Structure 1
Amino acid sequence: MRDLNDAFGKALRDLRLGANLAQTDFPPKVSREYVSLLERGVRSPSLETIDDLAGVIGVHPLTLVLQCYLTREPETNVKQLLDEVQREIRLEMI
């Protein structure tokens, strides 16, 4: 199991590169320096920062968070994780 900050950094880097973006494409929303710190696992983002990062990449913020947990727990697949979340959300609504 990877450290959560490291997993988030890898997920961010993978999605950023997949979108053909450089770290310099994030300002003014998020500074290049902060993107670098996040990708190296040195810092943890706030929800607002996750939202800003996802907006620049062009994905839903949950995609970034989901990719983080899939990176952290490689034995888990997308369907398992989404099924778990869906069950938990339904339990909360009852």
Structure 2
Amino acid sequence: MAAKHTLSEALKTIRKARGLSQEAFSDVSSRTYMSSLERDLKSPTLHKLAELCEVMEVHPLTLLTLAYAGKSQKQAEQLLAQVRRELETVAKQGNVP
């Protein structure tokens, strides 16, 4: 499944929706780094993504869902249903609690 948005667009969308400036992330990154992420010049590590999401007070999956589903609620619901099914399959096959 191709991303409808990009991670950079999703990051910027959530940051603005939360009323945060790029400077609000100064505890976890520089304004220059945030700008690079939002212009799709760099990609964050999973650890950095988690830190950025903490500042925005959203779960990293929220950011990724927006990146893949865009702003379509229907696409988001379909994507989340797919993730639920895949997690159930993995849990059954791998004896994951």
Query: 1:12 is matched by which residue type in structure 2?
Result: L
Report the RMSD for the aligned CA atoms in angstroms: 1.9
Q: Does 1:86 align with 2:84?
A: yes
The corresponding residue for 2:51 is 52
Q: Output the CA distance in 1 between the equivalents of 2:69 and 2:30.
A: 26
Q: Does 1:77 align with 2:59?
A: no
TM-score, length-scaled by structure 1: 0.86
Q: How many residues align?
A: 89
Alignment deviations for residues 27-77 of structure 1 (CA, whole Å, 9 cap, x no partner): 121111111001001111110111011000111111111111123xx6x61
Larger Rg: 1 or 2? Answer: 2
4+ runs deviating over 6 angstroms: none
The corresponding residue for 2:95 is none
% same residue? 36
Q: Output the CA distance in 2 between the equivalents of 1:27 and 1:38.
A: 14
How many angstroms does 1:7 deviate by? Answer: 0.6
TM-score, length-scaled by structure 2: 0.83
1:77 aligns to what SS in structure 2? Answer: helix
Contiguous gaps of at least 5 residues in structure 2:
93-97
